[in-house]
Amino acid sequence: MAGRGHGRGLLLLAILLIIVPLALSELNNIIIVSRMADEVALKCRIRILGETIFFKDFYLKPGVLDEQIFTPTKRPFFIECYYGYKGNYASKVRIFDVVWPDASDCRVDRGGCLYEIKDAVLYKTTRARGKRVVGDLPIEQCKRFLGIATECWQRRHRYRLLGEKIDYWEFFWAQ
């Protein structure tokens, strides 16, 4: 009798060793960290054929990692975020798209995708392809007098600007 129970345990272990790697190959992981001086907000949504589905709101404190694991759908989709940082706001900041050549690099079994925001530039790092620039995030610089912005200008961009600039209320009410 003791041998039969041991055999079932080995069978269960063998099944798990087959199923778990298959399940991990279906999961994706997005890890995001901000190296900016203050908190960065990313309100992210999945877009599937005109439909919008909540993904995650990231409120990134400097140097603190946050992540989200997800299972891709069978239909084409992408993940877009509303971006907010110190009075700068943008919509349509795309951080993931199943049609991108490196989309499969975000799978859990391949190490996931690390996104880093540094000096208003969004970087993406994967185990397979290393670090690359995704693009610039909008940021205004202002002259201030007694704490009030007197003159503001858009910082020069080294890379393609991500998203579309929006105002606070569009960001606040973003769905």
Q: Which domain holds residue 134?
A: 27-172
Residue 66 pLDDT exceeds 90: yes
Residue by residue, DSSP assigns 92-133 as EEEEEETTSTTGGGGBGGGT-EEEEEETTEEEEEETTTEEEE
pTM strictly above 0.85: no
58 inside domain: yes
pLDDT higher than threshold 80 for residue 60: yes
CATH of the domain at 141: 2.60.40
pLDDT tens-digit map of 71-126: 888 889 999 999 999 888 999 999 999 999 999 999 999 999 999 999 999 999 99
Question: Mean pLDDT over all residues of the chain?
Answer: 85
Per-residue pLDDT tens digits for 138-152:
887 777 767 666 777
The answer to whether residue 15 sits within a structural domain is no
User: Domain for residue 2, yes or no?
Assistant: no
Give the count of domains, the chain: 1
Type of residue found at 159: Y
